[in-house]
Chains A and B, each alone.
Chain A
């Protein structure tokens, strides 16, 4: 039996379906992320697990016990909020010890546990400070310690890092994962940041318009997106217009230039298709060893830290744009804007999507191929 289970959960606000047919089973100690754009229902689902919202139908159980109608203060679920929600009138130590005080633990036990948690979140000297005396990152660490203090059955995190700056965000997410692994606590994490979800989670639930689009490991979600939405939302995706030349032999044209895929696909000659291609599959330079190559004009070059992202208008200005990522290294020779360049990609890189049925399973297409 799974540790945390949501069965056929639905939530309606009047006529609006915030969450539909949500089914999830998480094992003890698993780290699950809900990933999706704003308004996709991920926070509503989290709030239903916390007990702040009642499902319109369906059930939620923790450790085999149905908690669908159990009030939030009796669920034994810890929650970390985007706005930290620390009690401004209490010191850091009092904030962390609040849940234990509610549970009427002896003062010496509370003191010991608070000290332990302050160590865990790397704030051993800050117990006597007030929240306003701490930085955003420190406040969120305190919020995490507070949520963990009473040893909850499930830890819920609602976009806990989105109010922090980029560097602290990365550092803190590693800390969260490390603490979660150390304590082995079942965790549900809500985020709209795909990098966060992919780097932290054992499994990711991608959501859109109140529905689960796909549930899988970060590897599965990124490499085998089951819907066009997942493919476009997770990572950057080139979707190029193609025309079928010989589907059986995997031949088509993109911007009038021939492309050959590793295997055939379905489609009659002259039919328009969409070709999905990850930027990291595309490299600058002419093709070697039977790779595909396309020629176009550079329309943009941007530095993204460890990678350099180039946009190439295939066949010249006004043509479909392919995004190409190169690792940023000192020997990299970057083209100038308007330069004519050739890009290459392997035959097994692209996936062919049917433009009239855009939400067809990409995974199935791969399997068929």
Chain B
């Protein structure tokens, strides 16, 4: 009993040291990037906003962001259409298939993007599935590739959301009340995994918007990732600004998840009197 207090203080101290260490590891490069972004001295006169003005004045920045954002949204919609019914069905009717589905959704982590994109080019760059000859075809292949890339994030997010609710009872309750599958999914299941879907969606968006390898090899050089890379090679201070903007976008996405999930009403008392 006597050594409880010293141990507790030591544990707290170690926790703080780890917390501060990790925070510094994360924040120092960010701060250094910020310093780099305000460094320009045209004609020897400091102009801290020059790099920001330059980036925000570049048309390619908006084109790249808009294009990647649009591709991201389409990717999210298709990924949701595939993942939500699959994860739901596996939880409800085929729980034994879960390890298989988990493995399949993890494949994008195992196969390097550069290998993957060469496979895509080989398959869709020549007949009989020639899609890469046109812009629409290439965009389609890009979306398809991103849908696959989104699987690990989307499946895990959705599956975690489904684990938090009693999928079977809610489904059977809906059925006994006369609901068909579409209504059950749209009115009962989806609203109750809203936060999980949003986190999967934002993660997917963040990955798609910053993705470089696949977009470059599919000749989508105006996509946000390749555009940032191009900017870094041609201009001295703007990459720092773009990095900070990317960070800001990711953080805004995460804050949105936290904000939207804040009012979640999915909390339900399963048993017992209050």
- Chain A residues with CB under 8 Å of chain B are 50-52, 71-79, 81, 83-89, 98-99, 102-103, 130-132, 134-137, 139, 143, 146-147, 150, 156, 163-165, 168
Please classify the interface of chain B as helix (H, G, I), strand (E, B), loop, or mixed, using the class held by over half of its residues: loop
* A72–B166 alpha-carbon span in the complex (Å): 18
What would be 18 A-B contacts, judged by CB atoms less than 8 Å apart? A51-B175, A72-B175, A73-B174, A74-B178, A78-B177, A79-B173, A81-B169, A84-B268, A84-B270, A85-B166, A87-B173, A88-B268, A89-B194, A99-B177, A134-B274, A135-B274, A136-B269, A156-B176
Closest Cβ neighbor of A167 among chain B residues: B273
Contact (A150, B177) CB under 8 Å given A83-B166, A85-B172, A87-B188: yes
A130-B265, A132-B268 are known contacts. Are A85 and B173 too (CB-CB below 8 A)? yes
Contact with A along B143-177 (1 / 0, CB 8 A): 00000000000000000000001100110111111
Minimum CB–CB distance for B179 against chain A, Å:
5
Closest Cβ of chain B to A142, distance in Å, is 11
Which of A87, A165, A168 is most buried by chain B, counting CB atoms within 10 A of its CB?
A87
A87-B188, A163-B272 known; A132-B265 Cβ under 8 A: yes
Question: In chain A, what residue has the closest Cβ to B193?
Answer: A89
Select one of A78, A134, A136, A150 contacting B271, CB under 8 A: A136
Q: Are A131 and B269 in contact (CB under 8 A)?
A: yes
User: Which residues of chain B from 222 to 238 have a CB within 8 Å of any chain A CB?
Assistant: none
Cross-chain contact A72 with B172 (CB below 8 angstroms): yes
Closest 9 interchain pairs by CB? A163-B271, A99-B177, A85-B169, A85-B173, A89-B191, A79-B176, A135-B274, A102-B178, A72-B175
| B:108-160 near A, CB below 8 Å | none
Interface size on B, residues (CB 8 A): 28
A164 to B272, CA, bound (A): 5
Q: Residues of B contacting A99 with CB < 8 Å?
A: 177-178
Contacts of A134 in B (CB 8 A): 269, 274
Contacts A73-B177, A74-B178, A98-B177 aside, 5 further interface pairs with beta carbons under 8 A come to: A71-B175, A73-B179, A78-B176, A83-B166, A85-B170
Residues of A within 8 A of B175 (CB): 51-52, 71-73
Q: Which residues of B contact A139 (CB under 8 A)?
A: 269
Q: Is B172 within 8 A of A79, CB to CB?
A: yes
> Does B12 make an interface contact (CB < 8 A)?
no
A132 to B266, CA, bound (A): 8
Identity of the chain B residue whose Cβ is nearest the Cβ of A83 in the assembled complex: B169
Which of chain A's residues has its CB closest to B274's CB?
A: A135
Please indicate the chain A residues that have their CB under 8 angstroms from the CB of B194 in the complex.
89
Which residues of B are found within 8 Å of A131, using beta-carbon distances? 268-269
Contact of B265 among A51, A73, A89 (CB under 8 A): A89
A contact residues around B179 at 8 Å (CB): 73, 98, 102
Cβ–Cβ < 8 Å partners of A78 in chain B: 176-177
- Report how far A52 CA is from B192 CA in the complex, Å: 22
Which of B165, B177, B267, B271 is in CB contact (< 8 Å) with A102?
A: B177
Q: Does B183 sit at the interface, judged by CB under 8 A?
A: yes
| Set of chain A residues within 8 Å of B172, measured between Cβ atoms | 50, 52, 72, 79, 81, 85
Choose one: B178, B188, B191; the contact of A73 (CB below 8 Å): B178
Partner of B176, one of A132, A147, A164: A147
In the complex, A134→B265 CA distance in Å? Answer: 13
A103-B173 CB under 8 A given contacts A88-B266, A132-B268, A136-B269: no
Residues of A within 8 A of B188 (CB): 87, 89
- Chain B residues with Cβ below 8 Å from A81 are 169, 172-173
B 68-87 to A, binary, CB cutoff 8 A, 1 in contact else 0: 00000000000000000000
